[in-house]
Amino acid sequence: MGRKSRGIEPRQTIGIYCEGESECQYFNMLRQKYNAKNVRSQKLDIKSLNKSGKNLIIAANQHKKANKQSKAYVVFDRDIDNINKSIDEIRECQRLAERYNITILFSSINFEIWILMHYEPVMRSYTRRELYRKLSGEKYFDTDYEKFKGDSYRPYLFDKVTKAKANAEKLYKVNPKMEKDDPYTNIHRYLGEIFKVSVF
């Protein structure tokens, strides 16, 4: 039986539930990054549920209860080009997440807005196709990004989180509304809370 250190609280378990493999890979990279630096981070349970919106929140709540997690986050995106169609659905997701005490990490038009911020500021809207094309470029991933999705981000983004956070903060000042702003992300607002770090 393992010894308990006096005065040190056991680390709480946090669940990060993602709609896709890319998001899951990204948060696995962050888990490695902050544990490797001996930062006191929380033990994470990251699962890709291949669901989105309301279904993801409902499934995350079930997993949170079953795994006795103290906190859960869901990571999903708008992923449709007609924003007006998704506004009501996102508001419904916000209400549901609040009821279950789950935090939504959201990007519009998709998660790749956040990925692009590791390289440069993002202040204009992109389609999913435009983002994939841009990230495939020489200055970025230098490979077909659509085929890359789901692979490890570590070789590309490990040392760029500080830059992404600063770029996201600039965007958030002008686009703070999850349900209707595009581009939008709020991922940067929760990294410190999740990983218990202040230096990224």
Give me the mean pLDDT over the 34-53 stretch.
58
What does the chain come to in residues? Answer: 200
Using CA atoms, how far residue 153 sits from 30, 85, 109, in Å, is: 10, 31, 20
For 167-187, give one letter per residue: b (16+ CB within 10 A) or e: bbeebeeebeebbebbbbbbb
At 57, list the tokens: 């929140």
Strand pairing category for 71-77 and 43-48: unpaired
User: Which CATH entry fits the domain spanning 13-195: 3.30.2310, 3.40.1350, 3.90.400, 3.40.50?
Assistant: 3.40.50
Predicted local distance difference test score (pLDDT) of residue 43: 44
What are the pLDDT digits (tens) for 49-104? Answer: 777 789 999 999 998 999 888 889 999 998 776 666 588 889 999 999 999 999 99
Residue 37 has pLDDT above 50, yes or no: no
Confidence of residue 38 (pLDDT cuts 50, 70, 90): very low
Give me the mean pLDDT over the 167-178 stretch.
98
